[in-house]
């Protein structure tokens, strides 16, 4: 019987091997994403019949029922995972459309998870901001550049401490301590920066009048698509958010045709912001259950929802 074990930093090479063999589409499937959010969304992994599977603990609790996160990386059927692992799996979350169709044809109840569907953009659109649809974005950037001396820097390990100091200032400005979601995100961001030398992250920062006041972090998702994990710009600097969007796309992501900017979590303001950049397409995700969903059916907690599980 396959062994289930918690995801650790030492699993990076194993996960990378499977991701190279089976390039993912969903934003959850990078080692960085799985690793840095494990404090609020515990992740387990197992090798099943030459496939790699990820399990997430429902509601972020270590002793709660596990759900299958995404499709197996390999040829193993999602339905065979439960028997191979010797556990009851009744819920399959963040599954792409092709896997959803297989499960639907097998008689499972499949629902569209719109809040977790990914927004995918053309990198050239974000880097160039051409045309009338990006007119307001270009104006905000012009205002920022007219009022401040802004300089872009790739994030190298020697810059991490400054970025962490900025993240602390950003959290103070946004009162992260009063927002469980921002608390969990803060923990995940610190994990990303603390392990920056080991994780395969692309980072870019903007100095405003000499001080780092914005950054963005991403990495490769598959050979022609990057994934954008985090982005922060200090409040109060008009146009800085639009500037880090454009400059990170231009300087760090030019090797990709597309960039996956993850989901909106059903947050209306975030949905409007992502839609305002005119995505090229969406990567739809679905949830499948072996029975009709009930209030007791375990589901995967968004990593942004509850700070009590943060390490």
For 269-296, the pLDDT digits (tens) are 999 999 999 999 999 999 999 865 554 4
* Of 1-5, 33-37, 71-75, 215-219, minimum mean pLDDT range: 1-5
Residues 6+ apart with CB under 8 A from 1: 84, 85, 86
Q: What is the mean pLDDT of residues 233-255?
A: 97
The verdict on pTM exceeding 0.95 is: no
Write down the residue that tokens 């146009």 correspond to. 239
d(C-alpha 46, C-alpha 84), whole Å: 10
Q: How far is CA 164 from the centre of its chain?
A: 19
Q: What is the number of H-type helices and E-type strands within the chain?
A: 10, 14
Write down the residue that tokens 């091997």 correspond to. 17
**Domains of the chain by start residue, with CATH:** 5-117+284-301 (3.40.630.30), 119-282 (3.40.630.30)
Residues 6+ apart with CB under 8 A from 8: none
Supply the pLDDT for residue 2: 84
Which tokens in the block code for residue 230?
């985090």
Is the CB of residue 154 less than 8 Å from the CB of residue 204?
Answer: yes
d(C-alpha 5, C-alpha 54), whole Å: 10
Q: Give the residue ranges of DSSP H helices in the chain.
A: 12-21, 31-36, 78-85, 97-105, 123-128, 135-147, 160-174, 180-194, 240-252, 268-275
Handedness of CA 132, 137, 143, 149 (dihedral sign): negative
Supply the pLDDT for residue 309: 35
> How is residue 86 annotated by DSSP?
T
For 163-205, the pLDDT digits (tens) are 999 999 999 999 999 999 899 999 999 999 999 999 989 999 9
Instruction: Give the gyration radius of the chain's Cα atoms.
Output: 20
Q: What is the mean pLDDT of residues 236-264?
A: 98
Confidence label for 256 from pLDDT (cuts 50, 70 and 90): very high
For 10-37, the pLDDT digits (tens) are 999 999 999 999 999 999 999 999 999 9
- Position 50 pLDDT exceeds 80: yes
Confidence label for 57 from pLDDT (cuts 50, 70 and 90): confident
Q: How far is CA 190 from the centre of its chain?
A: 15
- Position 115 pLDDT exceeds 80: yes
Supply the pLDDT for residue 300: 60
Confidence label for 93 from pLDDT (cuts 50, 70 and 90): very high
* Of 60-64, 66-70, 115-119, 135-139, minimum mean pLDDT range: 60-64
The SS3 of residue 281 is strand
d(C-alpha 11, C-alpha 49), whole Å: 18
Supply the pLDDT for residue 203: 98
Supply the pLDDT for residue 305: 46
* Of 52-66, 105-119, 250-264, 266-280, minimum mean pLDDT range: 52-66
Of 160, 127, 156, 124, the closest CA to residue 141 belongs to: 127
Residues 6+ apart with CB under 8 A from 45: 4, 5, 7, 11, 15, 52, 53, 54, 55
Per this entry, what is the length of the chain? 311
- Position 43 pLDDT exceeds 70: yes
- 57, β-bridge pairs: 66
Supply the pLDDT for residue 299: 52
Mean pLDDT taken over the chain: 92
Is the CB of residue 228 less than 8 Å from the CB of residue 216?
Answer: yes
Provide the percentage of residues in the chain whose pLDDT is more than 70: 91
For 221-238, the pLDDT digits (tens) are 999 999 999 999 999 999
């Amino acid at each position: 019987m396959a062994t289930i074990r918690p995801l650790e930093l030492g699993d990076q090479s194993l996960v990378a091997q499977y991701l190279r063999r089976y390039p993912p589409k969903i934003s959850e499937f990078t080692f960085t994403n799985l690793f840095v959010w494990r404090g609020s969304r515990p992740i387990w992994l197992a090798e099943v019949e030459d496939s790699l599977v990820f399990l997430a603990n429902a509601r972020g609790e270590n002793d709660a029922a596990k759900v299958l996160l995404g499709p197996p990386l390999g040829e193993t059927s999602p339905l065979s995972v439960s028997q191979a692992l010797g556990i009851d799996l009744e819920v399959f979350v963040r599954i792409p459309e092709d896997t959803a169709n297989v499960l639907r044809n097998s008689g499972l109840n499949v629902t569209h998870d719109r809040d977790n569907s990914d927004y995918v953009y053309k990198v050239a659109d974000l880097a160039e901001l051409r045309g009338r649809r990006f007119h307001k974005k270009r104006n905000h950037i012009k205002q920022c550049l007219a009022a401040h001396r802004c300089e872009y820097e790739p994030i190298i390990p020697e810059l991490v401490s400054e970025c962490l100091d900025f993240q602390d200032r950003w959290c103070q400005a946004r009162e992260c301590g009063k927002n469980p979601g921002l608390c969990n995100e803060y923990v995940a961001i610190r994990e990303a920066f603390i392990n920056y030398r080991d994780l395969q992250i692309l980072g870019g920062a903007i100095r405003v009048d000499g001080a780092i006041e914005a950054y963005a972090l991403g990495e490769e998702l598959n050979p022609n698509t990057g994934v954008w994990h985090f982005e922060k710009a200090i409040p109060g600097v008009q146009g800085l958010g639009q500037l880090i969007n454009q400059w990170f796309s231009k300087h760090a992501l030019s090797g990709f045709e597309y960039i996956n900017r993850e989901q909106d979590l059903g947050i209306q303001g975030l949905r409007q912001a992502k839609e305002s950049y005119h995505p090229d397409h969406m990567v739809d995700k679905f949830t499948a259950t072996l029975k009709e969903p009930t209030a007791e059916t375990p589901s995967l907690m968004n990593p942004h929802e509850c700070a009590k599980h943060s390490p």
